Amino acid sequence: MFKALKRIRLACQNDQSGAFSRELLCLVLILSLAGSAMIFSASYAYAEARYGTPYYFILRQSIWLIVGIALMLAVSTLSTDLLYCLSPILYGITIVLLLAVLVIGSTGNGAQRWISLGPITIQPSEIGKTALVLILSYYYKRNAESAFRQRGRDSFVSGTLLPFLLIGGICLLVMLQKHLSGLIIIGCIGISVMFLSGIRLRFLGILGALASIGVSALAIFTDYTKRRITIWQNPERYPLDGGWQTLQGLMAIGSGGFFGRGFGKSLLKFSYVSEPANDMIFTILCEELGFLGALGTLFLYALFIRLVFRIAERSYDTFSRLVALGIGCKVGIQVLLNVAVVTNTIPNTGISLPFFSYGGSSLLMLFAEMGILLSISRQACHNN
């Protein structure tokens, strides 16, 4: 205990001079402002009808955005050594929160995933995504410096099984919340970090196959997910009972055409597309900005991921490199799955679009991750 506290104190004293990546900061701000504009455009009709003011969602999102930017800048001042020391603590806190949500969590749409703290609601699974990236990066760095290097990365137990158990600890608790989309995303993030660490693909393939079989069995034999798969296969047969959201989303995407109807001129956000400012916001974006707007948005995401991977390449530290790669993969996975959901390529599982979907805890954790990336970029610039 005292040894860990000493390491944290030394990490706090570690000077991490240098400027962080201005390109990354500018790109994050561009995505955030574009997302806020789309949230207002997509939500004002729904907000007016339900809450009596068109500014209900954008005002709250603006507050989260300001707090998130402040959090990002604060986290960016932390040294990577301190982040390394705090990783096990954050993982432990995440496990406690995931256990707590099963006992005192609030329920919505048949799932128990949130903890209410007065006017604030947090979703521990969002914290779990970041905590998993940090703890896996911590594990691989720590073991690379000790017996793990001596045994080599070919060791099944140290290189694959133990990290897989760290992933499984979070995934099991998320599964108990009936949160299939969170389970899939967290599993994909964990597998990505393990793959990027350089472990043997044979070992990773075995456990990955077993995990895929488990998730598939859960989806097939659980009534909640089984029904979603049935609706996904034939949404036209359930136009008013589960397929409405998918059908209206596809109609919004198709009606946008190549150039779109124009910003703010969506018709299907008027009580047709369900949750237009949340998981389905990309459909409104396609309707208003068309194929060109959707392509431009995806291009911004591609630039972001490329920049994050470039920061990772410049980092000489195992922990920093894996954290940057893990965060980049997390954003990429969520964008890919969100677009796949709204285009009915995969079953509707409720996946938010980073920087664009309305939300509090998810946005704050995203900005905290951006702060971590800025901290890593400062280290990379200083080393170079």
DSSP of 314-369, one letter per residue? H---HHHHHHHHHHHHHHHHHHHHHHHHHTTSS-----PPTTTS--SHHHHHHHHH
Q: Could you tell me if residue 262 is inside a domain?
A: yes
- Judge whether 82 lies within some domain: no
Between 14 and 312, the higher pLDDT residue = 312
Give the DSSP H/E element, type plus range, for residue 282.
helix 281-314
What's the confidence (pLDDT) of residue 340?
93
Task: Based on the fold, state whether residues 201 and 235 are members of the same structural domain.
Answer: no
Distance of CA 69 to the CA centre of its chain: 17
Query: Over 50: is that where the pLDDT of 184 sits?
Result: yes
Read out DSSP for 251-262?
HHHHHHTTT-S-
**Are both 313 and 171 inside the same structural domain?**
no
- Looking at 186, 221, 256, the residue that finishes a domain is 221
Residue 12 lies in a domain: no
Residue 98, pLDDT above cutoff 70: yes
Same domain? For 107 and 206 the reply is: yes
For residue 78, count other CB atoms closer than 10 A to its CB: 19
pTM for the complete prediction? 0.89
pLDDT at 297: 96
181-192 residues labelled b (16+ CB within 10 A) or e (exposed)? bbbbbbbbbbbb
pLDDT of 245 strictly over 80: yes
Q: Which of 187, 221, 255 finishes a domain?
A: 221
CB 349 within 8 A of CB 184: yes
- DSSP annotation of 157: I
pLDDT at 229 over 50: yes
Confidence of residue 338 (pLDDT cuts 50, 70, 90): very high
User: What is the helix (H) or strand (E) element at residue 101, kind and residue range?
Assistant: helix 80-104
Candidate from 21-35, 231-245, 269-283 with smallest mean pLDDT: 231-245
| CA-angle at 278, arms to 136 and 124, nearest 5° | 35
Q: Are residues 372 and 324 in the same domain?
A: yes
By CB neighbour count within 10 A (0-12 exposed, 13-18 middle, 19+ buried), where does 217 fall? exposed
257 pLDDT more than 60: yes
Q: Is residue 266 part of a domain?
A: yes
Residue 6 lies in a domain: no
| Tens digit of each residue's pLDDT (9 = 90 or more) over 119-158 | 677 888 999 999 999 999 999 998 865 444 444 444 777 7
Same domain, 248 and 295: yes
- In a shared domain, residues 232 and 372: yes
- 195 and 233 assigned to the same domain: no
pLDDT band of 6, cuts 50, 70, 90: low
Q: 323 with 137: CB under 8 angstroms?
A: yes
- Residue 11 forms part of a structural domain: no
Residues 235 and 372 placed together within one structural domain of the fold: yes
How high is the pLDDT of residue 138?
95
Residue with tokens 């589960």: 242
Confidence of residue 380 (pLDDT cuts 50, 70, 90): low
Q: Is residue 70 part of a domain?
A: yes
Alpha helices in 180-243, H assignment, sequence order: 180-196, 201-221, 223-233
pLDDT at 356 over 60: yes
Which of 171, 196, 221 terminates a domain? The answer is: 221
Judge contact between 105 and 114, C-beta under 8 A: yes
- Flag whether pLDDT at 86 surpasses 60: yes
Same domain as 92, residue 133 = yes
Domain match, 240 and 151 both: no
275: DSSP letter: S
The residue segments making up the domain with residue 139 are 87-221
Q: Are residues 217 and 166 in the same domain?
A: yes
Q: Is the pLDDT of residue 93 over 80?
A: yes
Q: 288 and 199 in one domain?
A: no
Asked if the structure places residue 2 within a domain, the reply is no
For residue 312, give the nearest of 332, 330, 326, 298 by alpha carbon. Answer: 326
pLDDT at 168 over 50: yes
Q: Give residue 9's pLDDT.
A: 47
* Tally of domains in the chain: 2
Q: How far apart are CA 381 and CA 277, in angstroms?
A: 37
* H or E stretch at 172: helix 162-176
Contact 128, 175 (CB under 8 A): no
